[in-house]
A and B are shown apart, each in its own frame.
Chain A
């Protein structure tokens, strides 16, 4: 067998070898023995390689040659090349990538928002000022009476958030002070009586001459009587507010006793729940739509304008400080109800409105619509007596958060409906309207309205807080959602108005602040650019990045790895040499 080396021609090709490959002497010998073809005729190169100190070649006729030693300048240059690539990637590429793919998220005061939602930021307190007028009493007598009544009130009260503050008013100014919720007017009389003035927020109390407590007395029947009367007058408001607080899950700061729903009897809570689900959400303006539906062609006209003016306008005027109303009316002929039965059961009432055919679309312009439907028909409503509390009368029913329907029996052929025929429907609608706006049921009308404004401000405050909480949770839960600056502005507006509302609770301006806060919170929550967030799943990102990063990142990483490895080895070798 001839020597293979002599027959192998020197090869002109260049081979790539990786930097920093470990050159182990045993490795090379093994190669030389087992792979003689790879060898070449030049001996000088092998010897030079051996001189570098990596491989000590002792074979007289080497079969495989090591590449010549690399110049240190080349090595350094390679190091710089790899370094500069990495610098470009890290200093230029990554920031650009970061800049172009990052999602703008405005800073939100998340903790503060959550505090509001959980009721830690504001403890709703309704200090209601009640003025006492006692023109026939001496000053000190009146003082004593007020003090005793206050004591009695404090003893009765079990809800810390809602307390009545009595003060002695000057007789000259009966109700100039707007902060005063109720004026108690004490007048001498024959017996102890009390009644609410139907037109003014005034409680008239008469007392027998001997009922005035002495300055040193620790209790007085008159004071207890006034206190319990006052308590009764505000009982519904108190219950509603405490229900609202408990329903919204809002709790005052820890350590305080929870004066919430626990104080309410279950049946009271249930009726309050029913009432609050019936009422529409608060809005500064409501559209009232009065519609006359008839299954035939008559009547085709009605005196609705006059009827509204006569029977409903007074209540609308009274409600005007809290709500504005716009009114429109329409007549719809040939309307078939959703239920054709002559006797309507409770189940039929919910499907009586033929939503597909009757043009009762909500008004445009943002404000909610309350529909009042007069249907010409002689259907009767039959409801089993056990749940008889459902309907106000046998002619009409209320549809929660939507409006009311009144069935008006009419002889056929009546072409025109005069306004006196509409008296009953409209009076019924008026009471339905009060229910739909969430007005309390008991007390005199002025008192009911002022308490409505307090209930509404508490409601709005809680609603805005819970919207803020939802927004905060949403922001935390969806890290890929973008938060435009307008949302941050909205949150800031909400928070500042919430703070104002919280300070002024129980006063008229609280409603304004709560209203602004609620509107801003809703706007921030339903921000358009946030709602339509771009959904870009992770698989897509991988699909987009992989073809780019794979072929680029692998050489970069391998280059860096080899360079580091070589550097470590050189240091090791250097250390050994030294």
Chain B
């Protein structure tokens, strides 16, 4: 496949430069304004952004958005909005819904900031948060149970396991995205639940695609294949439902479905018939010639220099079957983010539209024709990686979280929050939901500032500054055993070019026998911490600001943690029964015998022993025989 691809395809170089301005909603950090997704004028639109990333990765961001007017929704005439979801929403009085299915880890060090600024992703597993309308908290909880159970059935996920022990009511972290001016704010209840243990897979994708107007049959959704999606290094499926009002017009209910995935191009290009990775023949191996030991028979393989070329059909395993006829024709369905210096070919009837300044190329497709996009290998084989991709923008904050300590009795959590910016302070909300069996000691919560030069100097010399004013605000709701999780929200600020180390310790609880899941030795998943970077101008996030559309600047999730609790031997109940029975029997037997038996001298008692028993038996038999003999 190294021959020039141009000979393989019949290209329609139709450079129709359409007189359209590129005011697109992209998943990139640089072009998204908070209100940007409010496009209420069209009923349905879909768009795919392809963005090659360093290290031979490819970010594909699918977004599907459809609107329905409130009147159509309340009269239950569903056209583009899925009926199954609409019924659930109205039955559970849900105003705004956010559902996330996530898998894998976003490598922020090499891939930069997250798509959609992290707004369309959740922690590993399944995450759900929703604003419900209810008169009281108890009613809101009832509706929440209805909602989770119904969604669980719709998406084939174990969402029904989001019970009160996994549900929190965040105060500072989340903001409604839609307009809720028609509802009394006192009646809006935000509930949030996470299932970190849930494994997202094909059975979740199928119902997701069913919600789309064009299903997976046409439009960009025809590229979505469970095999490729769940083979990705990182993927996130999101469903957002929000009411949106623009001006004086009637409000609409908007559903936005997004799928973001980072494909490893190398792995994705593997043909389906031959999916097992095999070592390459030596003459195909790209070698690092800079190594001193490089010679004709020694090779240090260079990773990620191959496979910087790909085509849509190759990486997604299927062709793109034209545009969805329902989608807004003014929005190009496919956009590719590569430097304008790179060549891109396409096959099929399409109109290319290029914005060189932003390094975006977009393609308008026709509904009937199949479409393919080909990124040929770079002209210079040794080209620097960063020249071949649009350089990723660094995120405003890096975060990682890990366990400290050892043993099965207590442990600790450490979160490292690093601000790479040279000038700006970063102010954010750190939100953690800890399961009730992790009993945290809030007094051990400390935030320490580590200056950024720590990487160069040896660890002993780190000047650790105890810094009290790093934590601006703590919102803590302690756990109740078997009833609710700990809820910890911190408002933190990290100075430029420095790292904050957040630590606390906790105790591990011994669970009841029936509370252990199958495979208890694996450990218990602790949900990801949710970090919401606040816009610069918001000083107090918890104060109800008049501008309800004050959206977070960026949000990210740490990885989930695996907490191992003391695990009992599960034959325990029977052991306990037998052990206590034996103890009781011993005690009882001893006491009873001492009380009841009579003690005499050894020679006064009846003779015991085998010989005596034998004799007694013989006597008995003799007596019997005698009796019989007499009778006979």
With both beta carbons as reference points, the residue of chain B lying nearest to A302 in the complex is identified as: B79
Given contacts A301-B79, A329-B77, contact A364 B87 (CB under 8 A): yes
Q: A91 interface residue, CB < 8 Å from B?
A: no
- A365 engages B601 (CB within 8 Å): no
Interface string of A4-40 (1 = CB under 8 A from B): 0000001111111111010000010011001100111
Residues of A contacting B600 in the complex (Cβ-Cβ under 8 angstroms):
14-17, 67-68
Please tell me if the beta carbons of A297 and B598 are within 8 angstroms of each other in the complex.
no
Quote the shortest CB–CB distance from B102 to chain A (angstroms): 24
- Bitwise interface map of A from 345 to 364 toward B, beta carbon under 8 Å scored 1, else 0: 00000000000010101011
What does the 1/0 interface line of A76-108 toward B look like (CB < 8 Å)? 001001100100000000000000000000000
In the bound complex, how far is the Cα of B606 from the Cα of A297, in angstroms?
102
Q: Which parts of A245-268 form the interface with B (CB within 8 Å)?
A: none
**Within residues 288 to 344 of chain A, which ones have a CB less than 8 A from any CB in chain B?**
289, 297-298, 300-301, 304-305, 326-331, 333-335
CB of A13 within 8 A of CB of B601, answer yes
What range describes how many residues of A lie at the interface?
35 or more
How many chain B residues touch A (CB < 8 A): the figure is 57
Closest to A357 in B: B210
Q: Are A330 and B599 in contact, with the CB atoms below 8 A?
A: no
Asked if B574 and A543 sit within 8 Å, CB to CB, the answer is yes
Contacts of A70 in B (CB 8 A): 598
In the bound complex, do residue A45 and residue B604 qualify as a contact, i.e. CB atoms below 8 Å apart?
yes
Nearest to B580 among chain A residues (CB) is A548
Which of B77, B84, B213, B596 is within 8 Å of A82, CB to CB? B596
Residues of B within 8 A of A289 (CB): 83
Tell whether B218 is near chain A: CB-to-CB under 8 Å.
Answer: yes
A538: interface (CB < 8 Å)? no
Tell me the bound Cα distance from A35 to B595 in angstroms: 31
What CA separation (Å) do A34 and B614 show in the bound complex?
12
Partner of A81, one of B146, B217, B595, B608: B595
B471 at the interface (CB under 8 A from A): no
Contact status of A11 and B601, CB under 8 A, knowing A297-B326, A359-B83, A555-B588: yes
Q: Are A305 and B75 in contact (CB under 8 A)?
A: yes
Q: Mark B590-614, 1 if CB is under 8 A from A, else 0.
A: 0011011111111111111001100
Question: Of all chain A residues, which has the CB nearest B322?
Answer: A297
Complexed CA–CA distance, A555 and B77 (Å)? 78
Contact of B77 among A21, A304, A361 (CB under 8 A): A304
A297 contacts which chain B residues (CB < 8 A)?
A: 214, 218, 324-326, 367
A15 touches B218 (CB 8 A): no
Q: Please, which residues of chain A bring their CB within 8 A of the CB of B153?
A: 361
Q: Which of B254-309 contact A (CB under 8 A)?
A: none
Across the interface, do A38 and B603 meet the contact criterion of CB distance under 8 Å? yes
> How many Å from the CB of B164 to the closest CB on chain A?
18
CB distance A330 to B588 under 8 Å? Answer: no
Q: Of all chain B residues, which has the CB nearest A300?
A: B326
**B82 on the A face (CB < 8 A):** yes
With A38-B607, A300-B79, A559-B596 in contact, is A547–B581 under 8 Å at CB? Answer: yes
Question: Is the CB of B34 closer than 8 A to any CB of chain A?
Answer: no
Q: Are A67 and B604 interface neighbours, CB within 8 A?
A: yes
Shortest A294–chain B CB gap in Å is: 11
Give the distance in Å from the alpha carbon of A262 to the alpha carbon of B615 in the complex. Answer: 83
* Cβ-based interface call for B511 (8 A): no
Does A548 contact B592, Cβ atoms closer than 8 Å?
no
Instruction: Check if A85 sits within 8 Å of B78, measured CB to CB.
Output: no
Inter-subunit contact A547/B582 (CB<8 Å): yes
A14 and B599 contacting across the interface, CB-CB below 8 Å: yes
The interface residues of chain A lying within 8 Å CB-to-CB of B326 are 297, 300, 333
Q: How far is the CA of A141 from the CA of B160 in the complex (A)?
A: 73
Q: Is A544 an interface residue (CB 8 A)?
A: yes
Which residue of chain A is the closest to B146 with respect to CB atoms? A364
Q: What's the minimum C-beta distance from A155 to chain B, rounded to whole angstroms?
A: 54
A365/B91 in contact, CB under 8 A: yes
What A residues does B586 contact at CB under 8 A?
551
A177: B residues at CB distance < 8 A: none
* A326 touching B210 in the complex, CB below 8 Å, given contacts A64-B603, A359-B84, A551-B589: no
Question: Knowing A297-B367, A359-B82, A552-B584 touch, does A17 contact B578 (C-beta < 8 A)?
Answer: no
Given A82-B596, A357-B210: A329 in contact with B76 (beta carbons within 8 A): yes
B627 to chain A, nearest CB (A): 14
Measured between C-beta atoms, what is the minimum distance from B583 to chain A in Å?
10
Contact with A along B312-346 (1 / 0, CB 8 A): 00000000000011100000000000000000000
Q: Which residue of A lies closest to B597 (CB)?
A: A16
Q: Which residues of chain B are within 8 angstroms of A359 by Cβ–Cβ distance?
A: 82-84, 210
Name the B residues within 8 Å of A547 (CB-CB): 577-578, 581-582, 585
Q: Which residue on chain B has the smallest CB distance to residue A27?
A: B619
Q: Is A573 an interface residue (CB 8 A)?
A: no
Best-buried of B87, B325, B597, B615 by chain A (most CB within 10 Å): B87
Q: Which residues of A contact B601 (CB under 8 A)?
A: 11-15, 40, 65, 67
Instruction: Pick from B214, B598, B603: contact of A10, CB below 8 A.
Output: B603
Q: B150 and A364: CB pair below 8 A?
A: yes
Given contacts A82-B596, A329-B78, 15 further A-B pairs with CB under 8 A are A13-B601, A15-B608, A17-B600, A19-B598, A31-B612, A66-B604, A67-B598, A67-B605, A289-B83, A300-B213, A333-B326, A334-B215, A359-B84, A543-B577, A555-B588
Give 6 A-B contacts (CB < 8 Å), ordered by A residue.
A14-B601, A16-B600, A78-B598, A82-B596, A328-B77, A364-B87
Top 4 closest pairs, chain A to chain B, by CB: A15-B605, A551-B585, A328-B76, A67-B600
